Amino acid sequence: MTRGIIRVKSQNQALSQPVSTEPPVFCGIVPPHILNRLAGSGLRVADAARRTLVADVRHRLTRSAVPWVGERHLAPPAEAEQRDDRAVYDDHDTENLPGSEVRAEGAAPTGDQSADEAYDGLGATFDFYLKVYKRWSVDGQGLPLKGTVHYGVQYDNAFWNGSQMVFGDGDGAVFGRFTSSVDVIGHELTHGVTQYTANLVYRGQSGALNESVSDVFGSMVKQYRLGQDAADADWLIGAGLFLPSVRGVALRSMKDPGTAYDDPAIGKDPQPATMSGYVDTSDDDGGVHINSGIPNRAFYLAATAIGGASWEGAGLIWYDVLTSPTLPAAATFATFGTATVHAAEKRFGRRSHEAHAVAAAWREVGVSVHT
């Protein structure tokens, strides 16, 4: 897989279309700019951050060497037979995946908080996709959901590696255990959904969309589990991951990008809320964890303007686009935004409140869409 740097200067600049064999890439929930800041901080957690960065690079290289086979096109069984199939493993502070199985589907809680949270989070995400969008697991074909806990020593991340979830325990000073936030689990498993659908190229604007889609559906998994309407949700990603010493509420805020944290150890949240703050960088695959704040806010604005449960309005529209065979893998913000407007018109009507809300949301964040 070719990994050239692509600089995107505006939402209308097109990226080259990827080949269909491009594999999904390593996607961790913690942005590298936070880990880099910690690694050079001189704090006692610096070693943990450095080990995490080294492990993340290794996983990235491993993923790059694995061919992507694309979505399977098999007829799923009857809906009554579309059951969850979970397994949680314990890596015992090693980096030898998947580890030893500690809880299989239907088994009683283990008493290990991380293992039981992982089991419940996998189930919550499975239920959301099946009950809301009739999608049977991340691949639509019942892929068993596996998760490994207690990965590495003070590992400061959680990720989807193309076939399973992996959770670190955190360093105990900045980050706690990564199983504690169900939206993080929903986020990472949604990278699997994207892998089997749009397979959005993980760099530049398409990479920021890849990250944003995971935030969007991760947040909806939490909202669905809590029974919240869009107006009642906190729209935070990773709330609870930071320990009390950190001046921050979460990794990201979809409602107010750039406000999630401001702390001497990890810096200030760099996410822009509009295209006027778009960050042109070669770091982080072209700022995928930074510029995702722009489409994140567009979704928040659309969901709250439509009202009610986000998964019944804006969520349906975003899901229609993500699973559309016409969405380019190298979609720009403008391409994706225009597709959501057309999807809203198709599902709810050209002059509908929903279509108007979606178009207005993209315009408010400075992305030009065609209606």
| pLDDT, position 4 | 29
Going by C-beta distance under 8 Å and a sequence separation of 6 or more, which residues neighbour residue 140? 71, 76, 196
Residue type, 187: H
27 falls in which pLDDT band (50, 70, 90)?
Answer: confident
| pLDDT, position 7 | 27
Helix axes of 113-133 and 204-226: crossing angle, nearest 10 degrees: 100
Which single residue is written with the structure tokens 């690694």?
Answer: 39
Q: What is the pLDDT of residues 45-79, one digit of tens each?
A: 999 999 999 988 888 776 544 444 444 444 556 66
**For residues 356-362, average pLDDT:** 98
Ranges of H-type helices in 236-312: 284-287, 293-306
Q: Where are the domains of the chain?
A: 27-68+84-196, 204-364
342 has a pLDDT exceeding 80: yes
Beta-strand runs (E) in the chain: 27-28, 86-90, 100-104, 145-149, 158-160, 165-167, 236-237, 252-253, 262-263, 267-268
Rounded CA separation 144/332 (Å): 32
| pLDDT, position 75 | 52
Cα atoms in the Cβ-side hemisphere of radius 13 Å centred on 340: 33
11 has a pLDDT exceeding 50: no
| pLDDT, position 81 | 65
204-364: same fold as 27-68+84-196? no
| pLDDT, position 197 | 96
**For residues 208-236, average pLDDT:** 98
Rounded CA separation 371/363 (Å): 11
**For residues 98-115, average pLDDT:** 98
178 has a pLDDT exceeding 70: yes
Structure tokens at 298: 């567009």
345 has a pLDDT exceeding 70: yes
The rounded mean pLDDT for the chain is: 89
Question: Under CATH, what is the fold of the domain 204-364?
Answer: Neutral Protease; domain 2 (1.10.390)
- Pick 256 or 3 by higher pLDDT: 256
Q: What is the pLDDT of residues 245-297, one digit of tens each?
A: 999 999 999 999 999 999 999 999 999 999 999 999 999 999 999 999 999 99
User: Which CATH class for the 27-68+84-196 domain?
Assistant: alpha beta
**Main-chain dihedrals φ then ψ at residue 276, nearest 5 degrees:** -65, -20
362 falls in which pLDDT band (50, 70, 90)?
Answer: very high
Residue numbers annotated as active site: 188, 289
Going by C-beta distance under 8 Å and a sequence separation of 6 or more, which residues neighbour residue 1? 22, 23, 64
Rounded CA separation 109/200 (Å): 36
**For residues 227-256, average pLDDT:** 97
Flag the least confident range among 65-74, 116-125, 203-212, 329-338.
65-74
109 has a pLDDT exceeding 50: yes
**For residues 157-170, average pLDDT:** 96
